[in-house]
Amino acid sequence: MPNICQNYVRIGGPEEVLVALAAREFHWAAWFKEVPEEAQVRMATARGDDAPPIHLQRCAEGGIEAFFISAWCPPLEFYNRLLEEFKDIRIEYEYHEWQMAFAGFGVAGRGMEPTHYSYESAEDIELMKRDHKWRLEISNPHFEEGEETIYSTDEEGASAGK
């Protein structure tokens, strides 16, 4: 089972384009005949075969949005392909993969890199939350007080499999 990456995406643009985007499922095969195998696996694997389809919904700030999961990392390739198809849209995104302790946000586009964070503590998460108004819940159960964790750094915890 792959690590699960939580995602948030918001798309803005001309009304007719937003209506077209919201009318279809939000995944590779619904939009393109040629699907990079690795990218399709990334979006489908984490959801499983019986997962409900991802649909974009209207959001209060304008545009359309969705919360969904992908395997391992955000589907940046898919966002870039949508930008090639629909030149007048803007795609803002967030992602968080707590098992590997990273998160980020950005605006999709060729050559545009996300603001990416790796973290090692609850304090690091708090600093990230000050840098950006997150729509995703940014937390990590490994850092919650009283939780046993595989990230234990003491020898006793490591040997116990915590």
pLDDT of residue 35: 65
Q: Does any domain span residue 126? A: yes
Q: Does any domain span residue 129? A: yes
pLDDT of residue 30: 73
Q: Does any domain span residue 52? A: yes
pLDDT of residue 70: 83
pLDDT along the chain (162 residues), means of 10: 83 94 81 67 56 83 90 84 89 92 88 86 90 89 62 41 35
135 backbone dihedrals φ, ψ, rounded to 5°: -95, -30
pLDDT of residue 148: 47
Q: Does any domain span residue 156? A: no
59 alpha carbon, distance to own chain's centre: 17
pLDDT of residue 42: 59
Which residues constitute the domain of residue 13?
Answer: 4-137
Q: Does any domain span residue 144? A: no
pLDDT of residue 91: 94
Q: Does any domain span residue 162? A: no
Whole-number Å distance between alpha carbons of 87 and 74? 21
CATH code: domain of residue 37: 3.30.70.1270
Q: Is 38 exposed, middle or buried (0-12, 13-18, 19+ CB in 10 A)?
A: exposed
Q: Does any domain span residue 158? A: no
Q: What's the total number of domains in the chain?
A: 1
Q: Give the Å distances, CA to CA, from 81 to 23, 28, 100.
A: 18, 9, 26
Q: Does any domain span residue 76? A: yes
